[in-house]
Structure formats: structure tokens, C-alpha cells
Amino acid sequence: MKRFGLIGLGLVVVGMQLSSVAYAGEAKAVETEKAAEKPGTATRAIPFTGNVVAVDPMTHTFTLNGKAKERMFKVNDQTEILIDNKPVHFNSIAVGSIVRGQAVKHEDGWEAKKVSIGPKEPMPASDVKK
């Protein structure tokens, strides 16, 4: 009888631990869903750089070549497009241009937040650390 009592107690303890782990996982999933539903909740922008291989002015998208595959970026009214740190229009992005910037990944693709056209300028010799 004592043996069954210890086994039963052990099963109860294991069951409690497993249920708390399952509850913690569900709580974290609910928090993540709530954070995604909040307006203004932004994901982190990821840097990109590459050569433009296609531009579609109708959908305001441009495509960059990549190591593994090409990536398409959507541009909207909030996207900052620059040449030499001066604002320009989407029409300034051309096939063959070198671009860099930051973009956010969404379920339906990449949304460009900032696009700088042209190669990165080298740092002046006076700013380089020795």
C-alpha cells in the first residue's frame, strides 16, 4: 500500500510539472499574439544591400539579386528614398543601381523603410581608427 502511495504521489508531481510547462507555453503564445495585434507594434528593421535587377513602378516594388535568391521590396509613402542624403522619388530607383537600406519582413514580403541609392561612401581618412 505504501508503495502505491509513493508511485501515485510521484505521478501527481510529474503531472503538475507538465501542466505548468504547458500553461507557460500557452501564456507565452497568447502574449505574442496580443503584441502582434497592438497597433504601432513594429518589428525590427533588417539591413539590406544589393544590385537592382527589376523595378515595377505600378506596384512600387524593386527586386535585388541575392546569394541564394532574389528578394522583392515594397515601397510605400512612408519609405525614405535618398541619393547623397537628399530625398528623391521612387522613379530614381533603376535597374543596375546599387541600393542599401532597412526593411521589415511581413507575411506577404519585405517592406522597405529606408532606401539609399548608390554605393556606400568610404569614411574619410581622418575618421578611420588606427
Same domain, residue pair 31 and 50: no
pTM over 0.75: no
Nearest of 100, 44, 42 to residue 73 by alpha carbon:
100
Same domain, residue pair 79 and 100: yes
* Rounded percentage of the chain residues whose pLDDT exceeds 90: 52
Same domain, residue pair 35 and 51: no
Per-residue confidence (pLDDT) for residue 43, from 0 to 100: 78
User: Which whole number is the average pLDDT over 20-45?
Assistant: 53
Strand partners, 61: 56, 74
pLDDT tens readout for residues 79-120: 999 999 999 999 999 999 999 999 999 999 999 999 999 987
How many C-beta atoms lie closer than 10 Å to residue 110's C-beta? 17
Task: Output the average pLDDT for the chain.
Answer: 78
Per-residue confidence (pLDDT) for residue 32, from 0 to 100: 46
Structural domain that includes position 112:
46-117
